[in-house]
Amino acid sequence: MAKPKIAFFDFAGCEGDQLQIANLEERLLDILGHVEVVSFREVATGHSDDYDVAFVEGSITRPEDEIRLKEIRKNAKVLVALGACAAIGGINCLKNFLAENVYREEVYGGQARWFSTYAARPLKSVVKVDAEIPGCPIDPTEFARITKELLLGRSPWIPDFPVCVECKQAGNVCRYEMGRMCLGIITRAGCKAACVSQGAHCWGCRGLVPGANLDAARIVMDRPGTSRKAIQDLLRFFLGDTGAAL
């Protein structure tokens, strides 16, 4: 049997997720023994339009991006959104809360109209996405697991419970007990509560957990010592493309 062909593409993003894949080091060599990489611009020269699985990183931020993405969709049997920007819009959506003329002029001044741009959006707003590997950045181990499942022909599973579950398992003190805010309560798990375990809080980079109760979350967050503005800031950090950010 011929090895499955895989390709990597990127739109507006930091390419940190492809870097996570490169950072798999020796394990990457193992995975690569089972696939044929036909396009991986960040580390290899050469490109082909003949591929089975397309990993796409980054958000769609320009009309011309849509054309390129639809082309990728047409060529690929399976399209995987890689990272927060591709899966949920992520940090790029922060600009969606500013008027277009404001962000254009803030950055390009008098030449504000030279370059095309529109509201940032995740891949699923433009084409059908078959699987998501969420996170900012992605967890390399999860990438390895999901790739393996895809190669076996299964539809990959990602956790459908909130970060709090893994956070308890990690033995962390709840940020709310410490009088801080945290989005673990509404965010999809799978990161092993990476940020809380490092002394920070959850920013929601893996997107909303299915069935997240946003109303309850707002009540939990809205308490003495926190401002509504701070809650809004946190909800907009990565979740700008969801109802949570409004």
Partner 1 sequence: MAKTPAKSSATTSAKPSKAKSPATPISQPEAVPGPKKVRVHYLTRVEGHGNIVVDVEADGTVSTCRWEVPEAPRFFEAMLLGRDYTDVHHIVSRICGICAIGHQLASLQATEDALNINVSEQTHLLRRLALHGENLQSHLLHIAYLVLPDLMGVDSILPLAQTHRDAVLKFIAARRVSNEFSRLICGRTTHPQRMVPGGFTMFPSTEELKSLHTMLKDTLPNLDFAVDLFATLLDRFPQFERETEYVGLVSPAEYAMYWGEIGSTKDERRPVRQYRNITREYIIPTSTAKWTRNQGESYMVGALARFNLNAEHLMPKAQAAAKKLGLKKGCTNPYYITLAQLVECVHTVEESIIQVEELLSRGIRDEAPAKPTSIAAGRGAGAVEVPRGILFHFYEYDDHGRIFQADCVIPTNQNHGNIQKDMDALVPQLSGLSEKELELRLSMLVRAYDPCISCSTHCIDARGLDTGARSLVRINRKS
- Which residues make up the interface to partner 1 (CB under 8 A)? 10-20, 22-23, 25-26, 29, 32, 37, 40-47, 58, 61-62, 65, 90-92, 94-95, 98, 102-111, 114-115, 117, 136-137, 194-195, 198-200, 203, 230, 233, 237
Residue closer to partner 1 (CB basis): 61 or 242 = 61
Q: Which long-range contacts (CB under 8 A, 24 or more apart) does 192-200 make?
A: 192/139, 192/166, 193/163, 193/166, 193/167, 193/169, 194/139, 196/163, 196/167, 196/170, 196/172, 197/167, 197/170, 197/172
Residue closer to partner 1 (CB basis): 84 or 217 = 84
Residue 99 and residue 50 in contact, taking contact as beta carbons nearer than 8 Å: no
Residue closer to partner 1 (CB basis): 64 or 160 = 64
Q: Tell me the closest approach of the beta carbon of residue 124 to partner 1, in angstroms.
A: 18
Residue closer to partner 1 (CB basis): 15 or 149 = 15
Q: Tell me the closest approach of the beta carbon of residue 44 to partner 1, in angstroms.
A: 3
Which of 34, 78, 72 lies closest to 52, judged by CA? 78
Residue 32 has which token pair? 């690569």
Residue 60 and residue 112 in contact, taking contact as beta carbons nearer than 8 Å: no
Q: Tell me the closest approach of the beta carbon of residue 211 to partner 1, in angstroms.
A: 27
Collapsing DSSP states into helix, strand and coil, what is residue 12? strand
Q: Tell me the closest approach of the beta carbon of residue 245 to partner 1, in angstroms.
A: 13
Q: Tell me the closest approach of the beta carbon of residue 154 to partner 1, in angstroms.
A: 26
Residue closer to partner 1 (CB basis): 41 or 145 = 41
Q: Tell me the closest approach of the beta carbon of residue 218 to partner 1, in angstroms.
A: 19
Residue 79, φ and ψ in degrees, nearest 5: -115, 125
Q: Tell me the closest approach of the beta carbon of residue 41 to partner 1, in angstroms.
A: 5
Apex 140 CA angle, 73 and 135, nearest 5:
65
Residue 5 and residue 53 in contact, taking contact as beta carbons nearer than 8 Å: yes
Which of 78, 47, 88 lies closest to 245, judged by CA? 88
Residue closer to partner 1 (CB basis): 40 or 51 = 40
Question: What is the distance of C-alpha 35 from the center of its chain?
Answer: 24
Residue closer to partner 1 (CB basis): 48 or 213 = 48
